Amino acid sequence: MILLSFDIEEFDMPFEYGKTISFEDQISISIEGTTIILDLLKKHNAKATFFSTVTFAKNAPYIIKRIANEGHELASHTVNHSSFKEDDYLESLVQLEELSGLPIKGFRMPRMQPVNDIKLKEAGYFYDSSINPTYLPGRYNNLNEPRKYHLKNGIIKLPASVSTYFRFPLFWLSFHNLPIWLYYSLSKKAIKSEGYLNVYFHPWEFYDLNDKERFGFPNYVSKNTGKEMMLRMDKILKKFSDNGYKFSTIIDFIKPILK
């Protein structure tokens, strides 16, 4: 089973590299990328989960409507991507449900930062997908975390997928930098080991990020973005589909676990 997810948010990442970007550009770039993603998913008849900030949802109502109408899952990515307070667990759930008309059962913290499971459960979430069970310098060291989904403090924890050996992360950065055949091979082994693949991407990856003056990104971030990313995603979706793998929203995947 393939669990594709996309963190749809204000594109604030240039700030991490000492650049400025207007709020209008943050939203327009993410809208453009999410439109490409939805078109690709429709082409391959694949369902996915979209973790949205409230800020993005308010500024992209047509995108949220498409997500709902095309049978995808909407989940919480907090209220604002650049800031967080504990009230945001509940506030983001309530506001996203009001904006979309969909039940919000999943949560992912921006930048995969730690979460308060008790607050999540109190707010009404079923699952959390905020763990990347690997070591990423400057971000996190989660080598002690389980690779597979598990129950903790009444919340289902669904870590991002890593390779079976050395816990090499199979997230968006590796997809940009590995040859497609190698990424697919590592993904197959992860599926065989865990029974599923849980990988996440962002809409701004589908925008050409090679302008260092504008974005300031190193090559390992900007490599294979824009049109190249669209072609690579199209190729991997076809490869998974042609080899008999099914796509599912996260909530549909975990429903049997909840029983």
Which amino acid, one-letter code, is at 93?
A: L
Q: What is the pLDDT of residue 190?
A: 97
Mean pLDDT across 166-170: 95
Q: What is the pLDDT of residue 199?
A: 98
Q: Is residue 197 within 8 Å of residue 190, measured between CB atoms?
A: yes
26-42 pLDDT per residue, tens: 999 999 999 999 999 99
Q: Quickly state the pLDDT bin for 138 (edges 50, 70, 90).
A: confident
Q: From the options 1.10.287.130, 3.60.20.10, 3.30.70.100, 3.20.20.370, give the CATH code of 2-258.
A: 3.20.20.370
Q: What is the pLDDT of residue 257?
A: 78
**Nearest Cα residue to 161 out of 150, 152, 148:** 148
61-94 pLDDT per residue, tens: 999 999 999 999 999 999 999 999 999 999 999 9
Q: How far apart are CA 190 and CA 200, in angstroms?
A: 15
Q: Quickly state the pLDDT bin for 139 (edges 50, 70, 90).
A: confident
Q: What is the pLDDT of residue 177?
A: 97
Q: In what order do the strands lie in the sheet with 73-76?
A: 150-152, 155-157, 127-128, 106-107, 73-76, 49-52, 2-8, 197-201
Q: Is the pLDDT of residue 258 over 80?
A: no
Q: Is the pLDDT of residue 122 over 80?
A: yes
Q: Give the H/E segment covering residue 25.
A: helix 23-43
Q: Is residue 236 within 8 Å of residue 180, measured between CB atoms?
A: yes
Among 2-11, 83-92, 134-143, whose mean pLDDT is lowest?
134-143
Q: What is the pLDDT of residue 259?
A: 63
**Nearest Cα residue to 43 out of 173, 212, 227, 237:** 237
DSSP 59-77: H-HHHHHHHHHTT-EEEE-
187-234 pLDDT per residue, tens: 999 999 999 999 999 999 999 999 999 999 999 999 999 999 999 999
Q: Tell me the three state secondary structure of residue 8.
A: strand
Q: Is residue 170 within 8 Å of residue 161, measured between CB atoms?
A: yes
Count of beta carbons in the 10 Å neighbourhood of residue 68? 16
Q: What is the pLDDT of residue 256?
A: 85
* Pair type for strands 155-157 and 150-152: antiparallel
Compute and round to an integer the Cα radius of gyration of the chain.
Answer: 17
Q: Which one is predicted more confidently, 140 or 5?
A: 5
Which amino acid, one-letter code, is at 137?
A: P
Q: How far apart are CA 63 and CA 237, in angstroms?
A: 21
Q: How far apart are CA 23 and CA 14, in angstroms?
A: 12
Cβ contacts of residue 111 below 8 Å, gap of 6+? 139
Mean pLDDT across 125-142: 93
50-60 pLDDT per residue, tens: 999 999 999 99
